[in-house]
């Protein structure tokens, strides 16, 4: 009688920081933070994997979309979760993202564009739930540009850029929606991006992900008051695309000057 092989064990999530009250990981692209009715068949979640990995309950205090990689912070108790959530709500947490976008945006700018509310799956949507657009602002800085000899739209070549983004509000899908608003959508974004550009990057670079990553988060430790800086450099498909566009060493120099 043949027995089925045991499933391969889950690889551990990369831990960026951990103490008695909080833990930060480098979330891979494609991993949900927690269970959602929109992906009811998914069985892998960061909350569950991290809980099993460290043997403690964890409380997410912010979100990253499934396709976004990078710094993801959890509290290890409810009191810490409450204190961290206050920092996020008061816009006291400095977050930096990298994205590869279509086109060549200006060297720097601020996207000040209100966004209609997008609710969580189980959020109350009754009469008391406002439908009004919410203030939202994202600053950006262009780090590198490239032009490749492939016709995607009506031009014989296609332009792309690497941008660093700093969201000052925390609206759902804010960065993705803001970049779409200025006509520079993120490559690999199946909801707010352009399918023809996404497919080109799959064919040229084997990229199967949305090219958006939270690379840095700076906050105040909720109990000690000490500054805490968490960093998660891009890897995998993201690095392969940057190398393919000729940005490798140039990007490290530009980021060091921020």
Place of tokens 């494609």: 30
- Give the distance, in angstroms, between the CA of residue 105 and the centroid of all CA atoms in the same chain: 20
Q: Which residue is catalytic, options 65, 94, 120, 243?
A: 65
Alpha-carbon gap, residue 34 to 137, rounded angstroms: 26
Q: Is the dihedral of CA 234, 48, 92, 210 positive or negative?
A: positive
243 catalytic? Reply is no
| Closest by Cα among 199, 197, 211 to 241 | 211
Longest dimension (CA), the chain: 66
Quick one: tokens of 237? 């498909």
Q: Which of the residues are catalytic?
A: 65
């Amino acid at each position: 009688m043949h027995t089925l092989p045991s499933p391969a064990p889950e690889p551990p999530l990369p831990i960026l920081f951990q103490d008695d009250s909080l833990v930060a990981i480098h979330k891979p692209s494609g991993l949900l933070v927690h269970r959602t009715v929109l992906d009811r068949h998914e069985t892998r979640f960061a909350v569950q994997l991290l809980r099993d990995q460290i043997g403690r309950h964890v409380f997410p205090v912010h979100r990253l979309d499934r396709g976004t990689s990078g710094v993801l912070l959890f509290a290890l108790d409810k009191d810490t979760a409450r204190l961290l959530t206050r920092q996020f709500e008061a816009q006291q947490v400095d977050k930096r993202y990298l994205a590869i976008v279509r086109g060549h945006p200006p060297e720097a700018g601020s996207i000040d564009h209100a966004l209609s509310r997008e609710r969580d799956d189980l959020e109350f949507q009754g009469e008391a739930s406002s439908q009004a657009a919410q203030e939202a602002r994202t600053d950006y800085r262009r780090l590198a540009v490239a032009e490749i000899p492939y016709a995607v739209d009506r031009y014989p070549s296609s332009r792309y850029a690497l941008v660093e983004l700093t969201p000052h509000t925390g609206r759902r899908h804010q960065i993705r929606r803001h970049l779409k608003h200025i006509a520079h959508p993120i490559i690999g974004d199946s909801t707010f991006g352009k399918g023809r550009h996404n497919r080109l990057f799959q064919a040229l670079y084997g990229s199967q992900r949305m090219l958006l990553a939270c690379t840095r988060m700076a906050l105040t430790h909720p109990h000690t008051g000490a500054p805490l800086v968490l960093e998660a450099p891009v890897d995998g498909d993201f690095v392969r695309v940057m190398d393919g566009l000729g940005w490798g060493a140039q990007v490290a120099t530009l980021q060091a000057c921020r």
